[in-house]
């Protein structure tokens, strides 16, 4: 079984407001999900973050969101399918323009926050997302949440000719359906390095996680999301990278 690609949400500073340890985490990941200005990021931050990725040989993904800077893209907005398609195209194009100047291109798309969660539950929104990705570049994979039952999502992607990467999370608790436990719930986010690394290895081996109700949960894992927004999380990313390298070499 292939080792999942490590991806990380980066480029989420904005103006004088600093978020994340982008330069530090970049050496340990495979894919950088760069904010495109709607939930975080600005032209200066976007270009600087693209530069970090290029210097480290890291693939760049567009990380589009609802237009919600105040809420960091974590609040659902009522948008039509056409509006969703257009806001995705706007953000992918903005980041890809900076990438072109820096000698690279956007190589996948991972929606952020509420948009990501909403499209996992709303097939019309997911279809609009797929339509936007295919219209921009049919070769771009779309990252979607790995759940216990992915049949409907796979069928829609096949219908639209879109490649999917199923994403799992190193530091989040899961429910029995394979969805992320709400951040409002106790224990939804793991902050212990040993727990994060252990969950990462379980997912990488294709073994069962234990959901929050005790259910055994096996999830498809093309890519694993890690976070690098403080010193302890950067240390966890380093530890996951080392463990994955050892697993791949075994």
What would the pLDDT profile of 79-96 be if each residue is shown by its tens digit?
999 999 999 999 999 999
Q: How far is CA 145 from CA 142, 148, 202, in A?
A: 10, 10, 17
Query: Which CATH number covers residue 88?
Result: 3.20.20.370
Q: How far is CA 192 from CA 19, 51, 232, 237, in A?
A: 20, 31, 9, 12
Q: Give the pLDDT of residue 46.
A: 98
Segment 110-133 mean pLDDT = 97
Q: Give the pLDDT of residue 230.
A: 63
pTM summary value = 0.95
Whether 167 contacts 7, CB under 8 Å: yes
pLDDT at residue 250 is higher than 70? no
**DSSP β-bridge partners for residue 35:** 63
pLDDT, the chain, mean: 95
Return the sign of the alpha-carbon dihedral for residues 174, 115, 79, 128: negative
**DSSP β-bridge partners for residue 155:** none
Segment 140-162 mean pLDDT = 97
3-state secondary structure of 139: coil
Six-digit token string for 7? 């991806």
Whether 22 contacts 49, CB under 8 Å: yes
Quick count: other Cβ atoms within 10 Å of Cβ 152? 11
Q: Work out the angle at residue 9's Cα, subtended by the Cα atoms of residues 199 and 89, and round it to the nearest 5 degrees.
A: 130
Cα(213)–Cα(210) distance, rounded to whole angstroms?
A: 8
Q: Give the pLDDT of residue 215.
A: 93
Q: Give the pLDDT of residue 143.
A: 98
What would the pLDDT profile of 189-241 be if each residue is shown by its tens digit?
888 889 999 999 999 999 999 999 999 999 999 999 998 776 778 889 999 99
- Where residue 183 falls among pLDDT bands split at 50, 70, 90? confident
- Tally of domains in the chain: 1
What would the pLDDT profile of 13-26 be if each residue is shown by its tens digit?
999 999 999 999 99
Q: Half-sphere exposure of residue 211, counting CA atoms within 13 Å on the CB side?
A: 16
Segment 173-184 mean pLDDT = 92
3-state secondary structure of 105: coil
What would the pLDDT profile of 30-44 be if each residue is shown by its tens digit?
999 999 999 999 999
Residue ranges making up the domain that contains 232: 5-249
């Amino acid at each position: 079984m292939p080792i999942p690609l490590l991806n990380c949400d980066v480029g989420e500073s904005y103006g004088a407001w600093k978020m994340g340890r982008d330069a530090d985490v970049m050496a340990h990941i495979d894919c950088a999900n760069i904010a495109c200005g709607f939930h975080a990021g600005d032209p200066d931050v976007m270009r600087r973050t693209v530069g970090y990725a290029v210097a480290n040989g890291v693939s760049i993904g567009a990380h589009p969101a609802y237009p919600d800077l105040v809420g960091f893209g974590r609040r659902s907005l009522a948008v039509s399918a056409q509006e969703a398609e257009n806001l995705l195209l706007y953000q992918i194009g903005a980041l890809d323009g900076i990438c072109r100047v820096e000698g690279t291109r956007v190589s996948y798309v991972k929606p952020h926050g509420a948009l990501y969660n909403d499209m996992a539950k709303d097939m019309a929104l997911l279809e609009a997302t797929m339509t936007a990705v295919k219209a921009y570049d049919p070769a771009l994979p779309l990252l979607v949440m790995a759940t216990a039952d992915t049949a409907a999502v796979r069928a829609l992607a096949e219908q639209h000719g879109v490649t999917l990467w199923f994403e799992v999370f190193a530091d989040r608790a899961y429910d029995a359906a394979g969805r992320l436990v709400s951040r409002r719930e106790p224990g939804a986010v793991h902050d212990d390095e040993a727990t994060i690394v252990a969950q990462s290895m379980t997912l990488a081996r294709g073994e069962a996680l234990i959901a929050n109700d005790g259910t055994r949960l096996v999830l498809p894992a093309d890519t694993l999301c890690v976070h690098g927004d403080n010193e302890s999380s950067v240390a966890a990313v380093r530890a996951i990278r080392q463990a994955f390298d050892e697993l791949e070499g075994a």
